[in-house]
Amino acid sequence: MSDTLKVVSWNINSVRARIEIVERFLKEEAPDVLCLQETKVRNDQFPEGTFRQLGYNHLILNGQPMHHGVAMISRVPLHKDERFDWQANGEARHVGARLENGVRIENVYIPAGGEIPNREENPKFGQKLDFYQRMTDWSAALETPTILLGDFNVAPLESDVWSHKQLINVVSHTQIEIDTMAKLQAAHDWVDIGRKFIPDPERLYTWWSYRARDWRASDKGRRLDHVWVSPELENKAVSHVVHEDARGWAKPSDHAPLITEFKF
DNA sequence: ATGCCTTTTTTGAAAAGA
């Protein structure tokens, strides 16, 4: 493989409903590895042909009917794929694989956590915190150089949300979630690539609700998607952008793709 | 913030997203 690798994370909100913009994105950006979340398709119904026609012949799928689902689609070989059940209930929220240079990519869709930020009143919120804890335990024992990316469903910094004051009690930006995410980050000294390239306090969002009349004008975004790397890979990342334009394409996902380039 | 939008499947109301 070449020493340059372009890796994308994109919560696609149904890969079948979004196949036209996926194809456009691959033609325009030509990533080496595309990591999708919320594919919303069983493995036997995944639209593999579209990807193979564009030269993406390595597909690693972890889908389920209707909800969730993740996939890694690559034009470079991937090995030793794994699917962790950090949800502990069988939901398809992780897939990972190893590049030929030994670096692993772990693609995760952390649960949103429901409406009420309280474990007793809302079991989904507890599931989200427990998912983070299992990832933290995994991170603490991790020795492989790793790119951890996906939809983490937490926006930790004030500059990661359109209004800190109006969202401080809204799931995705509560203090308990921010603290829980910080513990995960500390467990492996994960490097936040988003903030390495676009430092706080610059505005940085990856998701805009469908409910806004004009998402770009109101710009009520949140940074829910993240790319983290092991400390030894920090200097291998040479660029990182959020492709906001794709949020404005026809029939968009509510998340934008995150594009990171590495030089190994 | 989510009455507001968009997806899925049991074709059509309901759940989920965040």
Nearest residue, CA→C1' of B3: A211
Distance CA A160, CA A83 (A): 29
Closest nucleotide to A171: CA versus each C1': B18
Instruction: Name the closest residue (CA) to the C1' of nucleotide B9.
Output: A66
Half-sphere exposure (Cβ direction) of A59: Cα atoms closer than 13 Å: 18
pLDDT number for residue A244:
95
One DSSP character per residue, A144-173 reads S-EEEEEE-----SGGGBS-HHHHTTSTTS
Phi, psi of A136 (to 5 degrees): -65, -45
Q: Radius of gyration over alpha carbons of chain A, in Å?
A: 17
Which helix (H) or strand (E) is A226 found in, with range?
Answer: strand A225-229
Q: Would you say the C-beta of A57 is within 7 Å of strand B?
A: no
Q: Which pLDDT does position A3 carry in this prediction?
A: 86
The two tokens of residue A173 are 């930006």
Output the distance from A230 CA to B3 C1' rounded to whole Å: 44
Nearest to A254 by CA among A134, A153, A178: A153
pLDDT digits (tens, 9 = 90+) for A106-152: 999 999 999 999 999 999 999 999 999 999 999 999 999 999 999 99
pLDDT in tens, A183-208: 999 999 999 999 999 999 999 999 99
Instruction: Report CA torsion sign: A4, A149, A260, A20.
Output: positive
A122-128 own/partner pairs: CB under 8 Å, 24+ apart: A125/A171, A127/A87, A127/A89, A128/A153, A128/A177
Looking at residue A213, what is its pLDDT? 86
pTM (2 d.p.): 0.97
Q: How confident is the model at residue A2 (pLDDT cuts 50, 70, 90)?
A: low
Closest by CA to A247, choosing from A21, A70, A8, is: A21
User: Which nucleotides of chain B are near protein (any atom < 7 Å from a CB)?
Assistant: 1-2, 4-9, 16-18
- Does the structure show a pLDDT above 80 at A1? no
How many angstroms separate the CA of A180 from the C1' of B16?
23
pLDDT 10s digits, A60-113: 999 999 999 999 999 999 999 999 999 999 999 999 999 999 999 999 999 999
